[in-house]
């Protein structure tokens, strides 16, 4: 019998919305992260974030169909000149938000979440320098219990 997707194991759409909400609150409370998170963003920011993470972990392709896929997400964060410790702070908030959202405490599940976010932050930070733009057409990556699944990304 195969293990459910990380999306299913977490609790589906509601779990990822709770995670996105808790993460956003933690970022607002952080002295470095609060600046980029305090600006009025898209009115559906929490849904977009939740749908992006859900899609990555095996959920429906709502982010791709509604928001433009991985390249669109990277473009939102490109060229911002992020502070060097922003990435570690973001990961720390994400890990703590999983507790706040009441996600399963299963060690393998939590390791998969942290592993993904560590990889994702590294990628996003690589596009942070001024003038950096991501390539177009990148599909949303898929992350399983075994890590990044090859999706034909550049």
State the fold for domain 7-148.
Globin-like (1.10.490)
| Structure confidence at residue 145 (pLDDT) | 97
Model pTM score: 0.90
Annotated domain spans of the chain: 7-148
| Average pLDDT score over residue span 20-27 | 95
pLDDT-derived band at 90, boundaries 50, 70, 90: very high
The CA–CA distances, whole Å, from 6 to 15, 39, 83, 147 equal 11, 31, 31, 11
Q: Is the pLDDT of residue 78 over 80?
A: yes
Alpha-carbon span 132 to 126, nearest angstrom: 8
| Structure confidence at residue 51 (pLDDT) | 96
The CA–CA distances, whole Å, from 41 to 68, 127, 132 equal 17, 20, 21
* Structure tokens belonging to residue 30: 């952080």
Q: Is the pLDDT of residue 40 over 90?
A: no
């Amino acid at each position: 019998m195969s293990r459910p997707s990380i999306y299913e194991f977490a609790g589906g759409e509601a779990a990822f919305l709770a995670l996105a909400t808790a993460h956003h609150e933690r970022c607002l409370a952080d002295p470095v992260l609060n600046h980029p998170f305090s600006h009025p963003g898209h009115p559906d920011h929490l849904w977009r974030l939740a749908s992006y993470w859900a899609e990555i972990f095996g959920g429906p392709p709502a982010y791709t169909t509604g928001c433009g896929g991985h390249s669109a997400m990277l473009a939102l964060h490109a060229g911002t000149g992020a502070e060097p410790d922003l990435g570690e702070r973001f990961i720390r908030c994400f890990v703590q938000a999983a507790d706040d959202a009441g996600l399963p405490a299963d060690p393998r599940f939590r390791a998969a979440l942290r592993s993904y976010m560590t990889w994702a932050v590294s990628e996003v930070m690589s596009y942070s320098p001024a003038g950096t733009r991501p390539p177009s057409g990148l599909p949303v990556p898929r992350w399983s219990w075994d890590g990044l699944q090859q999706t034909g990304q550049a």
